[in-house]
């Protein structure tokens, strides 16, 4: 039971990062980015080739990936989303699905279908009060928590962070006040890119890297973001942790294969009972 709780929190922390990215970009760009999974895959492969082909230690490869990947995100925005910006959320979300196909299969084309692993030494898990705690779990928890603190400091205490929140809050007023939307959008993709890159690397450490990597996380990321109220990054963290734990505990009752189904079930229940997320106030009801 305690072990499940720890595993669940570990998974939750990793999922929290892309969920924040999803929630943040939904709040500011006003469309759900279905390419989030493919972006995770892409980031993991970038780190993997830096690690294996360029021979960098994983820490350096991961750090470089965190710097490089936001540029990929900006490029995707310039090529796909910017030309469609005025067309409304439905067009953008369909386009994000198209982008997801492109990214996933560029990875498949270059790296093939085989599962890849980072060059890391296996380490014995620590034992605390009879609970197994992996070294990877500690690293990913540290990185996740660090990244989250960074994001919330940026959102709360920098001028670009405030501008981002202002655009998410009331885009018309932000425009009337003269807030530079282009700058805010770029900042959003950079921040989302950093979060996605970091979690792509962590997921790659947690399991093997293959072209399906990100696809397995789309639903749980959306579930976490919706649970926390789409557009509310702090809520997304809570949603991710809750889902991580629920997902692990659910293995006590249902087959492990259905773990990703639990996410869907949670979305359905939340949408039926609390359409704004557990503590959302945003008006999403038609």
Partner 1 sequence: MPGVVTVSDLRTGYGGDDIINGVSFDVHPGEILTIVGPNGSGKSTLIKSLAGIVPARQGTISLFGENVTALKTPQRIAKGLAYVPQEFNVFRNMTIAENLKLSTEFLGLRSHDGNQERTRVLEMFPDIADRQDLLAGNLSGGQRQMLAFACALISSPEVLLLDEPSAGLSPKLVIEIFEKVKAVNELGTTIVMVEQNVAASLPFSDRAIVLVNGAIRHESSAAELSARGDLHELFLKEA
Partner 2 sequence: MIAYLTTIMTLVSIAVLIAFALNVQWGMCGMVNFGLAGFVALGAYTTALISLNGGGFFVSVFAAIIVCAVMGAIVSLISMRLSEDYLAVVTLGFGEIIRLVTLNEGWLTGGALGLPGIPRPMIDVIGTDHYEVFFLGICVVIVGIVFAGLEIATRGPFGRSLRAVRDDDLVASSLGKNVLLLRVKAFAVGGGITGIAGSLQAFQFSYIDPSQFTAIMTAYAFMAVIAGGQGSHRGLILGACSVMFLLEATRFLKDVVDVLDNSQIAAIRLILIGAGLILLLIFRPQGLLREYRLKAPKSSPSSADSTAT
Task: By CB under 8 A, name the binding residues for partner 1.
Answer: 159, 162-163, 165-166, 168-170, 172-180
Phi and psi, residue 116, nearest 5°: -120, 155
- Which residue in 49, 64, 68, 91 binds partner 2 (CB under 8 A)? 91
- Which residue in 4, 52, 63, 84 binds partner 2 (CB under 8 A)? 84
3 state DSSP class of 133: strand
Nearest to 251 by CA among 261, 237, 242: 261
Spatial separation of the C-alpha atoms in residues 221 and 15, rounded to whole Å: 6
Q: How many residues bind partner 2 (CB under 8 A)?
A: 65
88 interacts with partner 2 by CB under 8 A: yes
Q: From the CB of 235, what's the least distance to partner 1, in Å?
A: 12
- Which residue in 64, 68, 74, 80 binds partner 2 (CB under 8 A)? 80
Nearest to 139 by CA among 212, 69, 64, 63: 63
* Residue 86, C-beta contacts closer than 8 angstroms, at least 6 positions apart: none
* Residue whose entry in the numeric block shows the structure tokens 């929630």: 23
272 interacts with partner 2 by CB under 8 A: yes
Of 193 and 229, the one with the shorter C-beta distance to partner 1 is 229
- Which residue in 133, 136, 171, 249 binds partner 2 (CB under 8 A)? 171
Of 180 and 206, the one with the shorter C-beta distance to partner 1 is 180
Of 173 and 269, the one with the shorter C-beta distance to partner 1 is 173
Of 62 and 229, the one with the shorter C-beta distance to partner 2 is 229
3 state DSSP class of 190: helix
DSSP string over 26-84: HHHH-S--TTHHHHHHHHHHHHHHHHHTS---HHHHHHHHHHHHHHHHHHHIIIIIGGG
258 interacts with partner 2 by CB under 8 A: yes
Spatial separation of the C-alpha atoms in residues 241 and 82, rounded to whole Å: 33
233 interacts with partner 2 by CB under 8 A: no
Spatial separation of the C-alpha atoms in residues 216 and 7, rounded to whole Å: 17
Of 27 and 204, the one with the shorter C-beta distance to partner 2 is 27
189 interacts with partner 2 by CB under 8 A: no
- Which residue in 9, 56, 174, 213 binds partner 2 (CB under 8 A)? 174
DSSP H or E run through 128: strand 126-128
From its phi and psi, is residue 121 left (phi > 0), alpha (psi between -120 and 50) or beta? beta
34 interacts with partner 2 by CB under 8 A: yes
90 interacts with partner 2 by CB under 8 A: yes
Spatial separation of the C-alpha atoms in residues 115 and 129, rounded to whole Å: 34
Q: Where do contacts with partner 2 occur on this chain (CB under 8 A)?
A: 26, 28, 30-32, 34, 79-80, 83-91, 93-95, 97-106, 108-109, 112-113, 167, 171-172, 174-175, 181-182, 184-185, 218-219, 222-223, 226, 230, 255, 257-258, 260-261, 263-264, 267-268, 271-272, 275, 283-286
């Amino acid at each position: 039971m305690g072990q499940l709780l720890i595993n669940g929190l570990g998974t939750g922390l990793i999922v929290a990062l892309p969920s924040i990215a999803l929630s943040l970009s939904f709040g500011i760009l006003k469309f759900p980015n279905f390419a989030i999974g493919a972006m995770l895959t892409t980031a993991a492969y970038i780190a993997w080739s830096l690690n294996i082909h360029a021979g960098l230690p994983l820490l350096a490869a991961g750090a470089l990936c965190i710097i490089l990947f936001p540029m990929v995100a900006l490029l995707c925005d310039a090529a796909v989303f910017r030309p469609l910006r005025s067309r409304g959320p439905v067009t953008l979300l369909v386009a994000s699905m198209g982008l997801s196909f492109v990214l996933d299969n560029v990875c498949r084309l270059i790296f093939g279908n085989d599962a890849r692993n980072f060059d890391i030494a296996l380490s014995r898990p620590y034992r605390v009060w009879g609970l197994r705690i992996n070294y990877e779990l500690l690293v990913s928890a540290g990185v996740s928590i660090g990244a989250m603190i960074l994001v919330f400091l940026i959102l709360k205490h920098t001028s670009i962070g405030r501008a981002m929140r202002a655009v998410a809050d009331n885009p018309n007023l932000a425009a009337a006040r003269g807030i530079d939307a282009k700058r805010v959008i770029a900042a959003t993709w950079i921040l989302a890119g950093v979060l996605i890159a970091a979690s792509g690397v962590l997921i790659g450490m947690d399991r093997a890297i293959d072209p399906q990597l990100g696809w397995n996380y789309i639903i749980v990321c959306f579930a976490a973001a919706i649970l926390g109220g789409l557009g509310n990054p702090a809520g997304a963290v809570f949603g991710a942790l809750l889902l991580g734990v629920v997902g692990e505990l659910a293995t006590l009752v249902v087959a492990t294969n259905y773990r990703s189904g639990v996410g869907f079930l949670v979305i359905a229940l939340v949408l039926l009972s609390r359409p704004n997320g557990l503590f959302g106030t945003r008006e999403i009801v038609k």
